[in-house]
């Protein structure tokens, strides 16, 4: 890994120099022990395609100033893609305005999310607590699409595909010439994060679609992994939660209070998934694991299992 003004260039994750991986870091006591998030720059014959803009405009600037990217910009149009509207993927968008103005592509609902009162409140909260985000401005996508969009780069094709589950606006990028899937937050190590009960079936469907692509490499935004087996591992993890939740609901009527400790409820503690000695962001992923269990239980009950008392 090579540090570049606050972000890190991670060449070992890519088997092709046209696909460049960049990583930003963030820690916040009580929320994240040490969050890592990756973004990508894909250099094609026609375009320099930036897939996610990381945490702040300075991150995006550092990506664009990396030597390989900077040299590739000569004679090529820059395009920007937001995988979804989450702050750690899109708060660098403001770099791509004014003198660096570039089209920003995303799914329709991504623009709606970024223009929402919730997004404005989240940014105000982070800026109040963390000086790191003082330069961030909410810059929504300028070009949106409903389901799919294809970038014909000449030597490489980038197919933007719906991949809901983590969020309804989430997309993935498939590069068929390289059999490379950029899964963003739809696949994650050690575990993915569901939006809520409404995201359960879409996430199952998304992961199944990823398997049908038969990728040779899968890059995800969190987890430092390029292994295709992670898609199956994430799917098996969610199915195991479903299995244990169905078993519980078959003989037990839940109370709302019991859902405060869902991993204990179904006997699937975080340490069973990730041994204590393994170096992961335990603060965040312990929360995410409980959230996933709660979401799947609620999904099952909405589908007709016994209700909560």
pLDDT in tens, 9-68: 999 999 999 999 999 998 877 776 778 999 999 999 999 999 999 999 999 999 999 999
**Residue 305's pLDDT is what?**
60
- Nearest to 69, CA basis, from 106, 37, 95: 95
Q: What is the pLDDT of residue 76?
A: 98
User: Are 157 and 200 in contact, with CB atoms under 8 Å apart?
Assistant: no
Query: What is the pLDDT, as a whole number, of residue 138?
Result: 98
Residues 22 and 1: their CA atoms lie apart, in Å, by 9
> What is the C-alpha separation between 238 and 139, in angstroms, rounded?
34
Strands 180-184, 157-162: pairing is unpaired
Question: What would the two tokens of residue 296 be?
Answer: 């799947």
User: What's the start-to-end Cα distance of the chain, in Å?
Assistant: 52
Amino acid 309: pLDDT: 42
Torsion 190-191-192-194 (CA) sign:
negative
Predicted local confidence at residue 1, as pLDDT: 52
Q: Among 164, 149, 155, which Cα is nearest to 210's?
A: 164
> Which residue in this structure is represented by tokens 């997309």?
171
pLDDT, residue 67, reads: 96
Domain coordinates in residue numbering, the chain: 2-162, 241-302
* Cis status of the peptide bond prior to 48, with omega within 30 of 0: no
d(CA 15, CA 35): 24
Closest residue by Cα to residue 64 from 86, 90, 96: 96
How many residues are present in the chain? 309
Assign domain 2-162 to a CATH class.
alpha beta
Give me the helix-helix angle, 229-249 and 200-213, nearest 10°. Answer: 150
Q: Please, which residues have CB within 8 angstroms of residue 9's CB and are 6 or more apart in sequence? A: 1, 2, 3, 20, 21, 22, 23, 66
Per-position DSSP letters for 251-287, written without gaps between them:
T----GGGGGSHHHHTT--HHHHS-TTS-S-HHHHHH
Taking CA 96 as the corner, what is the angle to CA 193 and CA 176, rounded to the nearest 5 degrees?
A: 55
Tell me how crowded residue 95 is: count the other CB atoms within 10 A of its CB. Answer: 26
Integer Cα distance of 46 and 54 in angstroms: 23
CA 182 to chain centre: 10
Residue 210 · residue 186 · CB < 8 Å: yes
pLDDT tens track, the chain, 309 positions: 554 457 999 999 999 999 999 999 988 777 767 789 999 999 999 999 999 999 999 999 999 999 999 999 999 999 999 999 999 999 999 999 999 999 999 999 999 999 999 999 999 999 999 999 999 999 999 999 999 999 999 999 999 999 999 999 999 999 999 999 999 999 999 999 999 999 999 999 999 999 999 999 999 999 999 999 999 999 999 999 999 999 999 998 888 888 899 999 999 999 999 999 998 989 899 999 999 999 999 999 998 765 444
Instruction: Return the structure tokens found at 299.
Output: 């999904």
Q: Using an 8 Å Cβ cutoff, are 240 and 253 in contact?
A: no
């Amino acid at each position: 890994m090579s540090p570049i003004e606050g972000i890190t260039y991670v060449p070992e994750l890519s088997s092709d120099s046209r696909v460049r991986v960049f990583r930003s870091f963030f820690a916040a006591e009580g929320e994240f022990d040490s969050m890592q998030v990756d973004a990508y720059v894909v250099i094609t014959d026609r375009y320099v395609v930036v897939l996610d803009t990381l945490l702040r405009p300075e991150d995006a600037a550092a990506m664009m100033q990396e030597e390989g990217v900077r040299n590739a910009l000569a004679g090529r149009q820059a395009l920007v893609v937001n995988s979804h509207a989450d702050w750690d993927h899109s708060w660098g968008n403001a770099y791509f305005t004014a003198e660096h103005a570039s089209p920003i592509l995303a799914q329709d609902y991504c623009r709606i999310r970024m223009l929402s009162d919730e997004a404005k409140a989240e940014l105000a909260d982070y800026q109040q607590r963390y000086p790191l985000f003082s330069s961030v401005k909410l810059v929504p996508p300028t070009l949106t699409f409903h389901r799919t969009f294809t970038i014909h780069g000449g030597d490489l094709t980038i197919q933007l595909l719906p991949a809901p589950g983590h969020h309804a606006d989430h997309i993935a990028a498939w590069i068929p010439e390289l059999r490379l899937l950029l899964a963003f937050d739809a696949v994650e190590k050690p575990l993915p994060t569901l939006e809520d009960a409404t995201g359960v079936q879409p996430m199952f469907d998304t992961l199944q679609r990823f398997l049908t692509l038969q990728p040779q490499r899968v890059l995800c935004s969190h987890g430092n992994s390029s292994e295709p087996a992670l898609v199956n591992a994430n799917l098996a993890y969610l199915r195991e939660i479903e299995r244990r939740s169905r078993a519980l609901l078959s003989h037990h009527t839940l109370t709302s209070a019991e859902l405060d400790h869902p991993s204990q409820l179904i006997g699937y503690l975080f340490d069973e998934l990730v041994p204590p000695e393994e170096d992961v962001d335990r603060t965040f992923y312990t929360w995410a694991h409980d959230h996933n269990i709660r979401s799947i239980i609620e999904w099952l009950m909405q589908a007709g299992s016994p209700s909560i008392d």
